[in-house]
Chain A
């Protein structure tokens, strides 16, 4: 049944397209949908996907790399530095605790101590992919639970490198044949002395940091200047792939390297653009990854040792949950956050597959042990979304504090309340005044040279095309109160307004209009707050002319306000008139007609002489 790449792609895509909406329909997470899809198309149900499942998993792990890059983008270096205590503290406690307890348990079951240690390493790891995906999906990233989970996962990502490094040492005591197999390990530096390896690792980290500063940003700017959109996608992928390759070469986790690269780029103006470009790739690859996990569940192993597998799954989850609960208590998490963390990280993660197969390669584990533990890993991953649902529906409600703790523990940057689109002549004035008032809007602009200049002046400006909803989303429109459109081009303005009106109707729109005709269209789109750039300045100019001619300034200023109010009223009145729907060929003629109507209205109102305030002449007339 299998073979052609096209067929496989169809199988995976169809599985996702059918199962995920079904899962969503029943209120389940998309992760569970993917996992079920994987089981269904896997070798033991429909058999569309066979042995190559593992290769696909390896490929799809790249989704995890991308996810960590994207998470890195969300975390500014200084925030990352603030998180260091939580990462080492919570992560260390979780990994250390889990390893210790599980090692003792496996010893009790009479496993060889090297096997016990390998198993306990695998058990200590949790799934970055599953946990972070559901955090994102539920919008829990900025909660204490989210930050804690993230800290622990990050620590695991770091510690897994040490684990992989330690495994060969375990093998040495066990068998002599290992040295022969050693060369098969993935890292090209394995044959080098230990000191040099460390040096290479440090050097590659420095390379990533420096490249982020001095190579990626100038490269992205150059690409942005070409205004060829797909080049930006290409360079985003190039960056992530490059970092992953470098990391794999020196034996570091590609995910960790990508995370680091993300953190370095978090301060750059391309943050939002990179996010929205990579997001679809990440989502697809992660979906593929989850399906591969589902497909890899070996039902033969389960049917051979049903008791063993069941007790291991239950035991592992219980053990991990207890340790996590203890960690949460030590670090003073609130009850609901504690439970979320306990359930959220209780699975064995995707790194376990890597760890276990490496251990098998160097003959610490035999085939039976590898299969057993791999199955347990896949099942615990599959069970996580199920457990989360149980927790959410049956356990959490009893603790009454479901309300999301929205104070982020480690200041993961929160979205600003005002989004300012367009930072040209018009928008920059808006932005500068807001800033002078202490209001820092999230600024979007698509001219990278301007963005560059403004960043040098200390403004926080991001590069991107704001009509793309995904970009607005990463700029935090879901949490924004007000969106200011200061865009020059009317077409872009209309597209932006339409999109925001449709998908985020609760965001208040304040829109720049070039002239009254654009204002008509905006009124038609239901925009209330319209700012015609041609109104205030021209009235001010006319006022100054009148003042130069000797008229009193205060009287002029009062009349100017009246004039603007009346102009606004007539604009709304004329916009309400039915448009004769003729095409734009007749625009000029139509504009003349409008002008005529306006002048007529002015005439009807009469010249400004009916201003009787403080008029002593009138009083005199009455007295006389």
Chain B
């Protein structure tokens, strides 16, 4: 069984309806490691060694956060800056994360219609997430097609619940080493460029 680490970053989790639903669902699974970054590091002082050890103990890393201003909340970026060290995560001898899988799970207020060339945000979610995709790639990780819960403001409780179920299904797939692309009902933002390896396994 693959070990899964969820790095969760939300500065105001207590007031996020969508994320509360998603997190409630997965927190029932004790085989997962749910790591709440804003709760652990309220002063942004990240314990780098602890984070590294955590990464080494897991096979799959999930970056779970809301999309703010087309990017992640600042503590998530701080985590990337501090933990993914040169010579450890990338660069010469930086192979600690080699061939781990990386999945980004995001929530957006805007709907899928807003995130396209005709919409007011012009670009797709994938295009906004390119920096993260390349970050994972530079660290030798397999970046999976991101899973996005979009238009959260207008989603009903039932719709949210079904998203949460899908999240659980994805995690199950990852746990058992099955390809997530097989989950036909999930809304993956799949336009990841194919390079040396098959990113969808």
Contact = CB atoms under 8 A, between A and B. Distances in A.
Interface of A: 551-557, 613-617, 619-620, 623-624
Interface stretch (B11-19, B51-59, B122-130, B142-150): B11-19
Interface in B1-23: 10-18
B14 A557 contact: no
Contacts of B15: 614-617
Contacts of A617: 15, 17
A613 B11 contact: yes
Contacts of A615: 12, 15
Contact of A552 (B39, B66, B68, B153): B39
B39 A554 contact: yes
Contacts of B10: 614
B109 A616 contact: yes
Nearest to A623: B153
Nearest to B16: A616
A557 B66 CA distance: 21
A552 B16 contact: no
Q: Which 4 A-B pairs have the closest CB atoms?
A: A614-B12, A553-B42, A557-B42, A554-B38
A608 B18 CA distance: 24
B38 A553 contact: yes
B154 A623 contact: yes
A539 to B, nearest CB: 13
Select the residue from A553, A554, A620, A624 with max chain B CB neighbours within 10 A.
A554
B157 to A, nearest CB: 12
Given A557-B43, A616-B109, A619-B109, A552 B14 contact: yes
B153 A556 contact: no
| Interface residue range, chain B | 20 to 34
A564 to B, nearest CB: 14
Mostly, the A contact residues are helix
B42 A554 contact: yes
Nearest to B75: A554
B152 interface: yes
A552 B13 contact: yes
Contact of B153 (A554, A557, A616): A616
B15 to A, nearest CB: 6
Contacts, number: 50
A578 B101 CA distance: 67
A624 B152 CA distance: 12
A619 B153 CA distance: 7
Interface string B34-70: 0000111011000000000000000000000010100
Given A614-B12, A615-B15, A553 B39 contact: yes
Select the residue from A551, A553, A556, A619 with max chain B CB neighbours within 10 A.
A553
B42 A556 contact: yes
A553 B41 CA distance: 8
A552 B38 contact: yes
A617 B12 CA distance: 11
Interface in B160-175: none
A560 to B, nearest CB: 9
A616 B39 CA distance: 19
Contacts of A616: 15-18, 109, 152-153
A620 B42 contact: no
Contacts of A613: 11-12
Contacts of A614: 10-12, 15-16, 66, 68
Contacts of B42: 553-554, 556-557
B153 A620 contact: yes
A617 B153 CA distance: 8
Nearest to B151: A623
A541 to B, nearest CB: 15
A488 B10 CA distance: 43
A499 B66 CA distance: 57
B115 to A, nearest CB: 16
A555 B153 contact: no
A613 B38 CA distance: 15
20 contacts: A551-B14, A552-B12, A552-B13, A552-B14, A552-B38, A553-B40, A553-B42, A554-B11, A554-B42, A554-B75, A556-B42, A557-B43, A614-B11, A614-B16, A614-B66, A614-B68, A619-B109, A619-B153, A620-B17, A620-B154
A143 to B, nearest CB: 46
Contacts of A623: 153-154
A624 B11 CA distance: 24
Given A614-B16, A620-B17, 20 more contacts: A552-B12, A552-B13, A552-B14, A553-B42, A554-B42, A555-B11, A556-B42, A557-B42, A557-B43, A614-B12, A614-B15, A614-B68, A615-B15, A616-B15, A616-B18, A617-B15, A619-B109, A619-B153, A620-B153, A623-B153
Contacts of B66: 614
